[in-house]
Structure 1
Amino acid sequence: MLKKLLSRTAITAVIIFVQIVWIVALLLRLGDALPVLNYVLRLLSVIAILHVIKNDMDPSYKVSWVLFIGLLPLFGGLMYVLFGNKRPTRFIREKLNVQLEETARYYTMRPSVAEEIDDDSARGLFKYLESYSGYRACRDTKTEYFPVGEDMYAKLIPELEKAEKFIFLEYFIINSGQMWDSVLEVLRRKVAQGVDVRVIYDDVGCADYLPANYYQTLRSYGIKAMVFNKFVPVVSVVMNNRDHRKITVIDGKVGFIGGINISDEYINRKERFGHWKDTGLMFKGPGVENLTLMFLEMWNAFEEKEGTYYDYVPGKYEETGSERDGYILSFSDSPLDDENASESVYADILYSANDYVYITTPYLAIDRSLQNALCLAAKRGVDVRLITPGIPDKKMVYRLTRSYYAPLIRAGVKIYEYTPGFVHAKSYVADDKLGVVGTINMDYRSLYLHFECGTLMYDSPAVIDLRNDDLATMEKCRRIELSDCRTSFFGELIDRILRVLAPLL
């Protein structure tokens, strides 16, 4: 308990709270001395509401902010100025956009195999992601699905040991323990062998786990380290935009992606919320290239660039015997633009499905369009099933998640809560053909605010493995009935308020 109270997150939260209280107290005092200030603040709130209405943002955000500002006309406008912008700072945008333009030129020279896909809807989805992100669809890539973090960890260490040229790690959370200590041991040994080792970690994600200067420790080992969007204890919107991605790339030939961070709870060596259910993928072959480029885009935006993209992409890949391993496309999504690619992928799968769609997500805080896609699919006769945690990590978000159950169940969606513990997996699988595994939660932060990544698969054995894992997981779940969703008048009122404010949480 004492450790939590003295953590960077707790201390920063107190500092920010004190700042907000101080600002409010100062404005109230100045308002008494200078009544004109009250009119200025109210005018700011009116301008903020007009800006919200005019701005091209999701309607759910508009409703939430208009309601919030209207209820707090004296301070609502100021809060919108501080917290209302979903986009990263100009500094982050400009740095990343330069790299995106550079990689766009590289993408145009890479072949695509999307036209080979025999299913019209799947081919269209792959082509959409190519158009949005520039990343290319690939085949001849061996793809292995991991139903739990410990399975991925068992493959990760041996693959790291084989590295000869470079190792790239990009993670939202890195936490000292058996998992990170064993990874770090390999990284230090590889540095001594002349391997180029780089690590990107998110400062907010690691705030409770790593010292503020941990990147200096890594650099002292010879590991090149970068902290994304450093956590500053100042009232500011820029702390909303986090690097939520989880990527490992080894020599450009082996890649890992999924929901699994580098911390012991993800491999069930430490229990926090019962059994920790998470998933991941490993690639071998051309499909790794997109992950390599994702990492380098982020790294080159903020650190000294070394070489060109060609230096990190193998000219030839080893034969993997994966000619029938289907098609994959790893993609990234970011708050740099107004296009919500991840939400579009999820919605398209729901609209195109004929037989079933199985979904796993730790959180459910979605806008009306994605909710309609879920309901419409179920009403069309598609078997839509949703797996969520039985033991939550955040109680308020858990209540918000459960507030969506009743309308979804009425539409025919089947909901399963994972009774052994916490589901952290983020995946879609449909019709034994399409699958997505990645970092993208079904909530506003993942869909609109964070830097995310995922892998779209078609006609791959990994899709069947994902389906089978979902079915096995459902056997350990409790199916939620409509009667389980009944609550008191005040409980329903709280749920409604939470859903209105969901975009702001």
Structure 2
Amino acid sequence: RIKETIPKAGNIASYIQRNSQYPIYQNTDIVYFDEAVKGLEAQLKDLEKAQKFIFMEYHAIEDAEAWHKIQDVLEERVKAGVEVRVFYDDMGSIGFINTDFVKKMEAIGIHCRVFNPFMPGLNLFLNNRDHRKITVIDGKVGFTGGYNLANEYFNYTHPYGQWKDTGIRLEGDAVQSLTVTFLEMWNAVSDKDANDSDFSKYLFHYDYAAQQTGFVQPYADSPMDNEQVGEEVYISMINKAEKYCWFMTPYLIITDEMTHALCLAAKRGVDVRIITPGIPDKKFIYNITRSFYHGLVKHGVRVYEWTPGFCHAKMSVADDCMATCGTINLDYRSLYHHFENGCFMADCQAVVEIKNDLIRTMGECRDVTDQYQTGRSAYLRLGQLFMRLFAGLL
């Protein structure tokens, strides 16, 4: 039906379903959070209502104020008989938690797993991290977006000025895909005896009548296959855009294919814009990000830097009819090395809300397009060329 309603979005939805096996849903309500703290507050309220199970998978958890609020609720729910599982990436959480974190969680009844623990020495998969951010509550409500469970994401601390992050809350049929994504990764790091071979006990239909209309498609991306779903979704949106295609990303380290798609869209008259941070969290990567500006703006792409601080959100929107929100940056690590997840949305209110948020955000940005139109000095080009040698690792 989506192909009849919005053909260009329908083609992207078909690609996702055929290549990552995640179906597109209706009967799902979406709440968009333009600030991570709003997402956290909503999560806490929903966690308190959990009756059967809670699944949480995050790239980074910090044993501090934000997590303590969540942990208090999880501990109370465990006592009420709710099954609680927490899953985090080891490298992503380095410096945020101590090595005894898993034992602490298990001691209070929370099942806890670590993805790809860091070990000194040779590790061929060290660069493959779990960058996903997922919460599932009773299979009915799900959360995803750009924010991890650490204080800086909610502006409890300010290491890089203000922090801009976003997320979405799903309620309805589409939550099933978030449940599957979590369980598949949980099984991948668990002993075979502890695997959930039967997902059906966590996947069930219940009577829910969504108030909103539109199409919702949570999906996941893995570096363990030859299909770069995250990148292909972005490129497809760019190629199919007729009026505009806008992005927000904390890093901009892209392939020639992505660069070509962005430039070609701009040259055919599409309004292509990219929002990046005004204050970086990693200066070396920030310099590489800026090294891509000139090659884009000279073909008509507009670039904005968010002056209040660091924008960590990963969003895209095109032609008032389709958008994404999730964990996938416009960089090599997200597009090729990490386990990621996103949500493709079409013909729904969240698309409008994401567009409006990006418009508001651009009002807080400096437009650096003209600044990067001119050619760079030979010294600067040489330095950026050297830094680009490391782009595939960043």
Tell me the TM-score normalised to structure 2 length. 0.96
1:393 aligns with 2:281: yes
1:383 match: 271
For 1:307 and 1:240, the matched residues in 2 are separated by 28
Contact kept, 8 Å, 1:249 with 1:291, in 2: the verdict is yes
For 1:416 and 1:388, the matched residues in 2 are separated by 6
1:244 partner SS: coil
1:305 CA displacement? 2.4
1:431 match: 319
For 2:341 and 2:17, the matched residues in 1 are separated by 14
1:338 CA displacement? 1.4
1:273 CA displacement? 0.4
* Percent identical residues: 43
2:306 match: 418
Indicate the structure with greater strand content: 2
For 2:375 and 2:268, the matched residues in 1 are separated by 26
Unaligned runs of 5+ in 1: 1-112
Render the CA deviation track for 1:284-305: whole Å, top value 9, x for unaligned.
0001010000001111223212
1:252 partner SS: coil
1:167 CA displacement? 0.3
1:372 aligns with 2:260: yes
1:408 aligns with 2:296: yes
1:125 aligns with 2:12: yes
In structure 2, give the amino acid aligned to 1:224: H
2:56 match: 169
1:289 partner SS: helix
In structure 1, give the amino acid aligned to 2:249: T
Contact kept, 8 Å, 1:245 with 1:452, in 2: the verdict is yes
1:474 aligns with 2:362: yes
1:137 match: 24
Structure 1 residues 490 and 235 mapped into 2: Cα distance closer, same or farther (>3 Å)? farther
Contact kept, 8 Å, 1:175 with 1:209, in 2: the verdict is yes
In structure 2, give the amino acid aligned to 1:443: D
1:338 aligns with 2:226: yes
2:324 partner SS: strand
Render the CA deviation track for 1:463-484: whole Å, top value 9, x for unaligned.
0000000000000000003335
Contact kept, 8 Å, 2:247 with 2:274, in 1: the verdict is yes
Structure 1 residues 351 and 307 mapped into 2: Cα distance closer, same or farther (>3 Å)? closer
Contact kept, 8 Å, 2:2 with 2:9, in 1: the verdict is no
1:274 aligns with 2:164: no
Contact kept, 8 Å, 2:304 with 2:369, in 1: the verdict is no
1:218 CA displacement? 0.5
2:37 partner SS: helix
In structure 2, give the amino acid aligned to 1:311: K
1:184 match: 71
1:357 match: 245
For 1:288 and 1:277, the matched residues in 2 are separated by 25
1:445 match: 333
1:307 CA displacement? 6.5
1:308 aligns with 2:195: no
Indicate the structure with greater helix content: 1
1:237 partner SS: coil
Render the CA deviation track for 1:300-326: whole Å, top value 9, x for unaligned.
22321247211112321322322x2x0
In structure 2, give the amino acid aligned to 1:411: H
Give matches, 1:17-56, under 5 Å: none
2:45 is aligned, of 158, 180, 185, to 158
1:486 CA displacement? 5.6
Give matches, 1:225-264, under 5 Å: 225-264=112-151
Structure 1 residues 263 and 317 mapped into 2: Cα distance closer, same or farther (>3 Å)? farther
Render the CA deviation track for 1:33-90: whole Å, top value 9, x for unaligned.
xxxxxxxxxxxxxxxxxxxxxxxxxxxxxxxxxxxxxxxxxxxxxxxxxxxxxxxxxx
In structure 2, give the amino acid aligned to 1:138: Y
1:457 aligns with 2:355: no
In structure 2, give the amino acid aligned to 1:245: R
1:76 match: none
In structure 2, give the amino acid aligned to 1:142: D
Render the CA deviation track for 1:349-389: whole Å, top value 9, x for unaligned.
00000000110000011110000000001001000010000
In structure 1, give the amino acid aligned to 2:206: K
In structure 2, give the amino acid aligned to 1:151: K
2:381 match: 492
Tell me the TM-score normalised to structure 1 length. 0.76
1:285 match: 172
1:319 match: 209
Which region of structure 1 is more displaced relative to structure 2, 489-498 or 120-129?
489-498
For 2:139 and 2:27, the matched residues in 1 are separated by 15
Number of residues of Structure 1 aligned to a counterpart in Structure 2: 390
Contact kept, 8 Å, 2:60 with 2:89, in 1: the verdict is yes
Contact kept, 8 Å, 1:364 with 1:404, in 2: the verdict is yes
1:195 is aligned, of 61, 82, 89, to 82
1:238 partner SS: coil
1:483 match: 371
1:210 CA displacement? 1.1
1:436 CA displacement? 0.5
Contact kept, 8 Å, 1:247 with 1:257, in 2: the verdict is yes
Unaligned runs of 5+ in 2: none
1:436 partner SS: strand
Determine which structure has more spread, i.e. the larger CA radius of gyration. Answer: 1
2:390 partner SS: helix
Contact kept, 8 Å, 1:253 with 1:317, in 2: the verdict is no
Contact kept, 8 Å, 2:173 with 2:205, in 1: the verdict is no
1:498 CA displacement? 1.7
In structure 1, give the amino acid aligned to 2:55: F
Q: Which has the higher contact order (CA 8 A, sep 6+)?
A: 2
1:499 CA displacement? 2.0
Contact kept, 8 Å, 1:363 with 1:397, in 2: the verdict is yes
For 1:449 and 1:196, the matched residues in 2 are separated by 31
For 2:123 and 2:50, the matched residues in 1 are separated by 40
In structure 1, give the amino acid aligned to 2:32: Y
Contact kept, 8 Å, 1:330 with 1:456, in 2: the verdict is yes
1:161 CA displacement? 0.3
In structure 1, give the amino acid aligned to 2:9: A
1:118 CA displacement? 1.5
